[in-house]
Amino acid sequence: MSLRFRYKLFSAGHPIFPLGGRSVRPRPILGVTVIGPTDSRLRDAVLDSAADDTVFAESLAAQIGVDLRNAPVGYASGIGLVRAPVRYAELTLRITDGHEYREWPARVGFTPAALKRTLLGFAGFLQFFTAMFQGDREEFQLTVNSLYPGT
């Protein structure tokens, strides 16, 4: 069974020429609950099929009880090509479309770099799902695949 999500609309404040003059941009955003050893938090996150990793703000780690002092370190870069340090930890992620939910252990990154929004990339997230983006309907679907380790 697939989980279905509507794109969220974000105001641009001006007409967007490539979208025929619309003043909003549709984006594949969903709520993800991040579950740590001592607490959990719900974050809005952008689903990005071009992102290598799933990355959260470093401040979230302390809020949910994740100790990053001896965590493996890596680096990530985005469209701005600025390398940002990332420290990795294993925790639990949960998503729901309001009808059903999925929960699984995931290795994700935490960065001190300023994030506009949490990033759901391949490692920790998309590796476990088949994603279908339906631009005409402004929705996306996630279906667990054979790598999915959760419930």
141 within 8 A of 129, measured Cβ to Cβ: no
Q: What is the pLDDT of residues 63-100, one digit of tens each?
A: 999 999 999 999 987 656 578 899 999 999 999 999 99
3-state secondary structure of 136: coil
| Domains annotated on the chain, with CATH | 3-144 (2.40.70.10)
- Burial class from Cβ neighbours inside 10 Å (0-12, 13-18, 19+) for residue 93 reads buried
> Which residues contact residue 111 at a Cβ distance below 8 angstroms, ignoring those fewer than 6 apart?
55, 56, 57, 58, 76, 84, 85, 86, 87
Instruction: Note whether 149 and 104 are within 8 A (CB).
Output: yes
pTM, to two decimals: 0.93
Amino acid, single-letter form, for residue 90: E
**How far apart are alpha carbons 92 and 107 in whole angstroms?**
8
Tell me: the pLDDT tens digits for 91-147? 999 999 999 999 999 999 999 988 888 999 999 999 999 999 999 999 999 999 999
